[in-house]
Structure 1
Amino acid sequence: MVVLIFVCLESAVEVKRTLRDVQPSHYIFKIESFSLLLETKTENYESDVFEAGGYKWTLSFYPNGNRKRNKKDHIALYLAISDTDNLPCDWEVHVNFKLFVYDHIRDKYLTVEDTEPARRFHVMKTEWGFEKFLSLETFQNPSNGYLIDDNCVFGAEVFVMKFAGKGECLSMTKELSDNIYTWKVDNFSASSQEYFSDEFNIGGRNWKLSLYPKGDVKVKDEKSLSLFLEVADYEKLSLKPKLYAKYKLRIKDQVNGKHFEEELSVWFGAMRRSWGRPSFMPLSDLYVKSKGFMVNDTTIIEAEIAILSVTKNFP
């Protein structure tokens, strides 16, 4: 593929030209006896209407150049939207389009497009295109293959950029109200292998804490307390991790105020609905009376969520 990019000074838009084998998919515009068309001194010829992307279009062709813009040495070719009377009063259409001219000698199509991702058609701008589509000198030179036996072929491809009707909004929330949950665990020494807190709501999401007083059996650490934050309504989670949380898990020092805590962050998903530390705190520290983590066989645990993501789908 041959690619040439140059800057059109009049519109300050980069124009890309490429050669390809495949013909335009939406419209072909063939002119026979081009020289006779020039003799008619036709300033502008408008093609028949064709449909693409759910809208109606025409090609606007200036064989002697667009004299309204004082361009006399280039063929001008534009794509114009048609039948706009049947569109809403505030209509606008975003379009990626390509215009073509056929090279008879090389059996290829010269493709002309600007490098903007899309052009916006609206009531005040109903056509876009190229006032310097191709110089007349280049076009009429037989060795270039664009005008052979006084015949030429132009074309168009029009791709309307339509919103598919689905999307999502990801927002990161830092200032959460009532973002601390306190869990008082009584009779700690008599606790079973696993404890769950009541469900609590922070940031519009239901959570719970899971506690292993003698360590998580899955990691076989019986010398540490295990503590995790879990998404209680995990069945609502996506398979992909899409719920981010930055939080602290804390065991309060009820005597000295020197709490033991760890900050964690994770993206929760259906396959990761719980996250914490299997070896959160050594039991040897927990049961030291002077450290204040256990008072009258009661431990106070907190979860504090600092940052939370919220994902909303919209139609």
Structure 2
Amino acid sequence: MDIQQGILRSVSDTSPAHYQVRIQSFSLLTKNAIERYESAEFEAGGYKWKLVLYPSGNKSKNVKDHISLYLVLQETTSFPFCWEIYVKIRFSLLDQNKDNYLVVEDGLGMERKFYKRKVEWGYDELIPLKTFSDASNGYLVNDSCEFGAEVYVSRERIRDKGESLIMIRDAIPYKHTWHIDSYSKMTEECYDSQPFIVGNHKWKIQVYPRGRETGFPPYLSLYVALVEPTTLNPSSKIYTQIVLRILDQKQSKHQIGKANFWFSASSHQHGASKFLLLSTFINQYFGFLIKDNCYVEAEVTILGVVDALT
């Protein structure tokens, strides 16, 4: 038994429990430009795996003069969005002279974690090519060799839900102005502006000419809303700064309301039911309604977005 750099090398008389790869004419792999050999799938611990062998070293990691060997988890696209599998791995190499196996594993008995961004684990430098190729060591005899693996899943962690919040630096506001003429002829409860796009979503201004809520004195009600809220994922949210204005066409003393709000599929409208007294709005002394025309404005700034974690 030998532990070097956290790697335990030992000898076992037992063949590997889960998979073996026997290679004849090993030297022809490199000669025929096979830099990477991938085994068939095998099952261990309820999961599917492959062995990946680099007969002259993993060049993508600048490995030279060694054999590289890895275990790769398969079919992960069917897993829940957030998963972790903890595995103990033992690689083996047949010593044909002594009829036993060189076993290579973590010297501290550590579990190796497989997850979405890491589905491969192994050794860049499993064994020096010089040691491997020396027939007296028994690993390569008559140009034939045999590698193996044992894979023991010790624990699993699977989470079905999660979210990602992205706050936006230097967010840029978008301003939409709606010219309403013939205000006195607006007899419906609510009117919508033409849609405008901010942050890949369609928005609209909503005006309630006689107020959204009954009561005295009456008010004009003003809102911003998502046009297609049902297209949002139930876990998605949009953190937005909203500025609503009714423009004063005489003295530029605009009526302004400002707020930050989380928009979502279930909460897709925000504004004020008592935005401006109706008597003030229609009073000709002020400049909000001139010749039965007015200007309503919405300024939308997206400050952050929450989406489902994938």
Q: 1:188 and 1:162 mapped to 2: Cα distance?
A: 58
Alpha-carbon distance change, 239 to 55 in structure 1, aligned in 2, over 3 angstroms: closer
- Distance change >3 Å, CA 281–CA 114, structure 1 → 2: farther
The verdict on how the C-alpha distance between 1:162 and 1:239 changes in structure 2, with shifts beyond 3 A counting, is closer
1:286 aligns with 281
**How far 1:297 sits from its partner (Å)?**
1.9
Match of 1:44, SS state, is strand
Q: 1:215 to 1:163 in 2, by over 3 A?
A: closer
C-alpha distance in structure 2 between counterparts of 1:310 and 1:97, whole Å: 36
SS at match of 2:184: helix
Structure 1 unmatched ranges of 5 or more: 1-9, 12-41, 57-81, 100-111, 127-154
Q: Give 1:264's aligned residue.
A: 259
Please tell me whether residue 48 in structure 1 is matched to residue 16 in structure 2: yes
Residue-pair matches, total? 209
Q: Does the 8 Å contact 2:163/2:307 carry over to 1?
A: yes
Alignment CA distance shift 1:204-1:241 (3 Å): closer
Q: What is the CA–CA distance in structure 2 between the aligned matches of 1:221 and 1:96, rounded to whole Å?
A: 67
Alignment of 1:102-181 (within 5 A): 121-124=121-124, 156-159=152-155, 170-173=165-168, 175=170, 179-181=174-176
What's the counterpart of residue 301 of structure 1? 296
Aligned to 2:38: none
Over aligned residue pairs, what C-alpha RMSD do you find? 4.4
1:206 aligns with 2:184: no
1:83 corresponds to which residue? 51
Counterpart of 2:198 in structure 1: which amino acid? I
Distance change in 2, residues 1:272/1:122 (3 Å): same
Matched position secondary structure for 2:297: strand
Alignment match, 2:104: none
Output the TM-score relative to the length of structure 1: 0.52
1:179 touches 1:203 (CA, 8 Å); kept in 2? no
Distance in structure 1 (CA, Å) of the matches to 2:114 and 2:279: 66
Flag the 1:209–1:49 CA change in 2: closer, same or farther, 3 A: same
Matched-pair identity in % = 24
Tell me the TM-score normalized by structure 2: 0.53
Structure 2: any 5+ residue segments left out of the alignment? 19-43, 61-69, 74-83, 90-107, 127-150
